[in-house]
Structure 1
Amino acid sequence: MIARTLTLGAAVATLLSTGAFAADLYSGTPATDLYSSPMFSFDGAYAGVQGGGFSGTVNGPSVTGWNLDLVAGVNFAMTDLLLAGVEFQGGVMWPDSGWKWDMLGLARVGAQFTDGVMAYGTAGVGNVAGNGVYAFGGGVEVATFQSISVRGEVLGLANWGQGPSAAKATAGVLFHFN
């Protein structure tokens, strides 16, 4: 009877002690990643320069020619895929009739389909060659380096109360402050 009790006690002690071995397997050092790459983000403030061309008329005078703009704006991530933001563009145009100013305030809504590509639509108001206008259009922005992107954009422009009479096509480089 004593041998049976000792054998049963030894078996129970063996079964209860195996859990302690499993707890000791953790070494205390977390695994490290072999490569860690910060993803580019279109979320946040940005500024840059863009250039391109105008074509058409705004309230009579021709605005066909070249332009150079400074760009500043901010995007807000609505979801992992969607962004919304505001942007201001201001610069000079060189149409046939001498240089003129252009300034636009635009709202943007975009979708980031991959880690480095965003397509967006934009609309807003502004002043082109001294005339109040509305603008609408879209573009594609592509990340090139950690904080730098390039983009192409096309806008239709029109005087208030009229249909589109001019277009603005630009390419630019932006720096993202995130």
Structure 2
Amino acid sequence: MKSHYSDAPAAEPIARHTLAVIVDNEPGVLARIAGLFSGRGYNIESLTVSETEHEKHLSRITIVTTGTANVIEQIKAQLARLVPVHRVNDLTVSGDAIERELVLVKVVGKGETRVEAMRLAQAFGARTVDATMTSFVFELTGTSDETERFINLMTGCGLTEVARTGIAAMGRGADPM
């Protein structure tokens, strides 16, 4: 006997997308974009914002989100319709983008634990930006996977605090956004 469930359509896969959005640098723009996401139940996994063209008063917002292909298309279309938005670029679709994240990690420990924290930081290429007799603050820039591995390893060495910037991303090659 045939099951009725075998005729059901396959669930659409959910994928992670990195969106670069150029906007006017003015009050309320970020709130409007965040409102667009929250109002429709979309999640923002990472968000970075900075003015990139001071003379033109433009900022670049990098948003990492997940969704089905239809949801991502809806997000891009709705972002593009907002008045202060100049451009929306899906870096995931447009090619192999460069993504980096900055993490600051505070580790507290003495003796062998302290030595192990220094060894791991050196292995990852992290910089020591603060050191006392009982603690370190390390700075690491890398992919989200690299920074996550570093944080996980430092947990065993006395990790007490983490600050992350979120993802900054840019498309490869000579073409501007």
| TM-score interval, smaller chain | under 0.3
Which has the larger helix fraction? 2
Provide the TM-score with structure 1 as the length reference: 0.24
| Greater RCO (CA < 8 Å, at least 6 residues apart) | 2
Which has the larger strand fraction? 1
Which structure would you say has the larger Rg? Answer: 1
Provide the TM-score with structure 2 as the length reference: 0.24
